[in-house]
Copies of this chain bind each other. A is one copy, B any other.
Amino acid sequence: MSLPDEIRTFIRAHRDDYTRLLQDWVRDATLSGQEAAHQAKIRDLYQSLGLDTDYWEVDIAALRDNPLFNSHRQDFTGSPNVVGTWKGSGGGRSLILNGHVDVVPEGDHAQWEQPPYSGEILDGCLYGRGVTDMKGGNMASFIAVSTLKSLGVKLKGDVILQSVIEEEAGGAGTLAALERGYRADAALIPEPSEQMIFPRQQGSRWFRLRVVGIKAHGGTRYEGVSALEKAMSVLEALQELEKRRNDELEDPLYDGVPIPLPINVGRIAGGDWPSSVPDEITLEGRVGVGPGETVADAQRDVESALAALAERDSWFGEHPVDIEWFGACWQPGGIATDDPLLDMLSTAYREVHGESPRIQASPWGTDGGLMTQYGIPALVFGPGITRLAHFPNEHIRLDDVFDVAEIIALAVLRWCGHDE
């Protein structure tokens, strides 16, 4: 039996074990700050594979001065990173397989058909918050390494499995791994791409906007200025800016994407009494950063659009919108479309699926942007379902997890090289 056939056979033979393990992972509600128990399991699994395993709590003080650091947290207590290194025999290329364990809040439970952390399986799909973003992808990487190890493969280059924190809020976990010295010739991140290959990725930057008004009694509201009515103008300005930025974007990798670089307002709050005119509204959101621009470029666009409000409404001249760039920041990034990793992954895809992969730019940032900043070519390719990330009823097709595991195993073999 050829090695590729052995890989496929091994994965199929152990499918039930890996499925149960993924159910177990999904049942860990690894919200930001609550990852420790899950990461301890990952540490034990890495050790059981014989990897050099590094489990550490991220020291926020050592990261604060890094210009790429972004976090709303005061410390990372309860949020350790885990890295497992499989040392190659030498002479091959090294590869990072990176994935995050933090999940976003589950939202309104009433919109979930199962409890959010059920791990239930229905019609070949496994359900739960974080299964598509991205514990299913983490499982695919784990299966790939576990399979190659079990089959006694001797790689030439190193494989570095990374189970990181904080991807959803700025990437401090991956940044900490980079700063701890974990580097490689390339990185693959199995975020939920539906098995499309994303050689380029969108970055994004969070903003907090404060819009002010003047308080008044609701019955004489004309004596005040409603911060909410002003916030509506701000929202319209952001909608216009989004349209303009996307109309101007020219990148064939975004063909067919309805809004390549979205501006999303995710939170709003303001006012303290139903019958008072609200005097402050806060808006929080994210602006997408194109692969061909910097985070600073996108910030300048938002700042200009909000400053231009003063031309339409003198209120904003006297009370400009206060803009805070806070919390999360994903760097845009990517690799050249003729990069050998892209070629090798495409070849592996064809071996498994019998057809060529779809290649696009990602609609969102990943920690691959940070890898790019450190000179590590990174691409995204994973089993999850893009539109279910951050959604109620998040789930993943189990077949996709195992297909991606097989493709990653084949790509690792070719990229790192192995002793025959």
Q: With CB as the reference atom, state the residue of chain B lying closest to A262.
A: B221
Copies of this chain, complex-wide, total 2
B279 touches A285 (CB 8 A): no
* Chain B nearest Cβ from A257, distance in angstroms: 8
* Chain B nearest Cβ from A202, distance in angstroms: 6
**Cα(A386)–Cα(B218), bound, Å:** 11
Q: With CB as the reference atom, state the residue of chain B lying closest to A133.
A: B217
A262 touches B220 (CB 8 A): yes
**Cα(A84)–Cα(B167), bound, Å:** 65
Instruction: Pick from B221, B266, B273, B276: contact of A218, CB below 8 A.
Output: B266
Q: Which of A284-308 contact B (CB under 8 A)?
A: 284-286, 288
Majority DSSP secondary structure for residues of A touching B: mixed
Given A262-B220, A267-B270, check contact A286 B279 (CB 8 Å): no
Instruction: Pick from B274, B281, B328: contact of A285, CB below 8 A.
Output: B274
Given A224-B391, A265-B226, A267-B270, check contact A279 B219 (CB 8 Å): no
Q: Does A63 contact B (CB under 8 A)?
A: no
Given A108-B279, A276-B107, check contact A216 B268 (CB 8 Å): no
A273 touches B223 (CB 8 A): no
Q: Does A104 contact B (CB under 8 A)?
A: yes
Q: With CB as the reference atom, state the residue of chain B lying closest to A280.
A: B108
Given A107-B276, A328-B275, check contact A215 B268 (CB 8 Å): no
Pairs A–B under 8 Å by Cβ, sample size 20: A107-B215, A108-B280, A111-B279, A206-B275, A208-B274, A215-B391, A215-B392, A217-B386, A217-B387, A217-B390, A218-B264, A218-B285, A220-B387, A220-B389, A221-B264, A267-B270, A267-B274, A268-B270, A273-B390, A274-B284
* Chain B nearest Cβ from A130, distance in angstroms: 13
Which residues of B have CB within 8 Å of A333? none
A278 touches B271 (CB 8 A): no
**Cα(A275)–Cα(B218), bound, Å:** 33
